[in-house]
Amino acid sequence: MSEPQEASGVLRVGVIGVGNISAQYFTHIPKLPNLQLVAVADVNEERAREVAAEQGVRALSVDELLADPDVDAVLNLTIPQAHAAIGIRALESGKHVYGEKPLALTPEEAEPLLALAAEKGLRVGSAPDTVLGTGIQTARQALDAGLIGQPIAAAIHWSAPGHELWHPAPAFYYQKGGGPLFDMGPYYLTSIVTLFGPIARVSGVATTSQRQRTVATGPLAGTAIPVDVATHVSALLEHENGLTTTITVSFDVWKSRAPLFEVFGTDGTMAVPDPNRFDGDVEIATATTREWESIPMSAGWADSGRGFGLADMARAIETDRPHRASGELAFHVLDVMDAILRAAADHTVVDIQSTVERPAPVPLDSTPATW
C-alpha cells in the first residue's frame, strides 16, 4: 500500500463479486469516511461495468484489480467456493482481505489463508459484521452487566422453506459451502462466541430432505436445483466456560413458532434480536416479573450495515489493534461448523481444535472511523 493512504487512514477498496449482497455494501461504504471504493470486478464483466458506472468507479478484470497499486484491500463477495482462492490471491498481491462468510469451505482450506496473512503482515476480515450493531452488542452489554444473572444456556432456532423462493440464482446455496449451516450458521455462531466466548466441543445431527427444489423467481424460474448439502441441522455446543447452546438451522420448515434466539440465566431470560440484522430490540423477562420488557440500546454502532466490519478493520490497521470481525473469529466459526457436520456423520462428540478471544465490545454510537 502507498504511504499517503496509510497515513490518511483511508483504505482504498476494490470489490470482487458484484452479486446480490454487494448492493448492501455499496449502500454503506460511502457513509464510512475511512473507506474509499475505487474499483469493482466480476467474472461477468458486463455486470461489473454496469455497477462501476452506478458507483462512479473503474471496472477492472479480476487480474487487473488484484494487480492495481491503488487498491489497498479486496472486498471478496464471490461465491463460497471461491472465497479462499480469491483471498489467497489478494494476499499474494500485497492486499488486505475482507470477505463474505464463510471464510472458506473447510478449516484445511482456510489455514493457508491465515498463515499467508500472518507471514505478510496483512489483515483478513470476514462477515458477519452484524454482531457489531446495536442488537447483539446491547445483548452482550446486558449479559456482562448481569441483567439475567449468570447465563446457563442459549437456544437458537432459525428456519425457512429455502432461499430458492426469493433468490434469482440460488443454486450455490445447495452446494458445498452453502446449506442452512454455512449460510445462516455464521450469524448465530459468531453471535454466541461474541456473547459467551469460544466453543470447546460439539455434537450434531444433519439430514437432507427429499423435497424437489426449483427456482421460483427471475429468468431461471422453474429450473431444478441439485442439493448436495444437509438441509436441516441441529447441534449441541459446549463453550469453554461451560455454557451450552442448542442450535437448529433449516431450509425445510414452512412455518414455526419456535423462539429465534434466547439466553437463559439464573435470574431471567433474554430474547436476543435477529443477528442477521444490525439492530433490533433486546427483551428481558426476570425471575421477578416473568414478563417481557425491552431494554434501552446500550452498545453497538447505531444505523450500521454491511461494511462496518471492514471500516473497523481499516481503523485497526491505522491504530495497530485487533479488528473485531477477524479472520481468526471466522476460522473458529468455520471450525465449529465443520465439526458439527463431522459429529453428525460419525454420531460422536467432536472437540474443537481452534479457539479465539472474544472481540472487543463496541460502545454505543461510536463509529469505526473514530473508535
The answer to whether residue 352 is domain-embedded is no
User: In 161-218, at which residue ranges do the beta strands (DSSP E only) sit?
Assistant: 199-207
- What are residue 203's phi and psi, to 5 degrees? -135, 160
Amino acid letter for position 320 = D
Query: Minimal CA–CA distance to 129: which of 316, 311, 322, 366?
Result: 311
Q: Within this chain, do residues 136 and 273 fall inside the same structural domain, yes or no?
A: yes
Cα distances (Å, whole numbers) of residue 148 to 75, 123, 261, 297, 351: 39, 36, 15, 16, 29
Helices (H) and strands (E) counted in the chain, each on its own, are: 10, 15
**CATH at 76:** 3.40.50.720
The answer to whether residue 308 is domain-embedded is no
Give tens-digit pLDDT for 45-103. 999 999 999 999 999 999 999 999 999 999 999 999 999 999 999 999 999 999 999 99
Q: Within this chain, do residues 146 and 121 fall inside the same structural domain, yes or no?
A: no
Judged against a pLDDT cut of 70, whether residue 7 lies above it is answered with: no
Q: Within this chain, do residues 141 and 288 fall inside the same structural domain, yes or no?
A: yes
Query: Which of the listed residues 78, 100, 126 is the one where a domain comes to its end?
Result: 126
Three cell numbers written together for 196: 459467551
How sure is the predictor about 9, in pLDDT bands with cuts at 50, 70 and 90?
confident
The answer to whether residue 178 is domain-embedded is yes
Which residues span the domain enclosing 162? 131-295
Mean pLDDT across the chain = 95
Three cell numbers written together for 169: 440464482
The answer to whether residue 351 is domain-embedded is no
Q: Within this chain, do residues 120 and 138 fall inside the same structural domain, yes or no?
A: no
The answer to whether residue 328 is domain-embedded is no
Q: Within this chain, do residues 276 and 142 fall inside the same structural domain, yes or no?
A: yes
Distance CA 351, CA 353 (A): 6
- What are residue 147's phi and psi, to 5 degrees? -65, -20
**CATH at 266:** 3.30.360.10
Helix (H, G, I), strand (E, B) or coil at 279: coil
State the burial class of residue 322 (Cβ atoms within 10 Å of its Cβ: 0-12, 13-18, 19+).
middle
- Considering only the C-alpha atoms of the chain, give the largest distance between any 2 of them, rounded to a whole number of Å: 62
Three cell numbers written together for 321: 489493534
The answer to whether residue 326 is domain-embedded is no
Query: Which of the listed residues 126, 156, 173 is the one where a domain comes to its end?
Result: 126
The answer to whether residue 360 is domain-embedded is no
Mean pLDDT of 151-176: 95
Q: How many CB atoms lie within 10 A of CB 364?
A: 16
What's the domain count of the chain?
2
Query: Minimal CA–CA distance to 52: which of 22, 32, 24, 78?
Result: 22
Which residues, in sequence order, are CB contacts of 175 under 8 Å at separation 6+? Answer: 80, 81, 226, 228, 229
Q: Within this chain, do residues 64 and 148 fall inside the same structural domain, yes or no?
A: no
Strand-pairing partners, residue 59, are 40
Strand-pairing partners, residue 295, are 282
The answer to whether residue 256 is domain-embedded is yes
Q: Within this chain, do residues 237 and 264 fall inside the same structural domain, yes or no?
A: yes
Distance CA 289, CA 295 (A): 14
Tallying the residues shown for the chain, one arrives at: 371
Judged against a pLDDT cut of 60, whether residue 4 lies above it is answered with: no
Burial 217-229 (b: 16+ CB within 10 A, else e): eeebeeeebebeb
pLDDT, residue 2, reads 37
- What are residue 144's phi and psi, to 5 degrees? -65, -30
Strand ordering across the sheet containing 268-271: 293-295, 282-286, 268-271, 261-265, 151-159, 244-250, 232-239, 199-207, 350-351
Amino acid letter for position 143 = L
Helix (H, G, I), strand (E, B) or coil at 248: strand
pLDDT, residue 369, reads 65
pLDDT, residue 3, reads 36
Percentage, residues of the chain above pLDDT 90: 95
Amino acid letter for position 213 = R
CB 177 within 8 A of CB 81: yes
Give me the helix-helix angle, 327-346 and 107-120, nearest 10°. Answer: 160
Q: Within this chain, do residues 30 and 84 fall inside the same structural domain, yes or no?
A: yes
Query: Which of the listed residues 95, 126, 157 is the one where a domain comes to its end?
Result: 126
Q: Within this chain, do residues 176 and 35 fall inside the same structural domain, yes or no?
A: no
pLDDT, residue 367, reads 75
Q: Within this chain, do residues 256 and 223 fall inside the same structural domain, yes or no?
A: yes
Percentage, residues of the chain above pLDDT 70: 97
Q: Within this chain, do residues 77 and 171 fall inside the same structural domain, yes or no?
A: no
Q: Within this chain, do residues 141 and 82 fall inside the same structural domain, yes or no?
A: no
Distance CA 333, CA 322 (A): 18
CB 160 within 8 A of CB 215: no
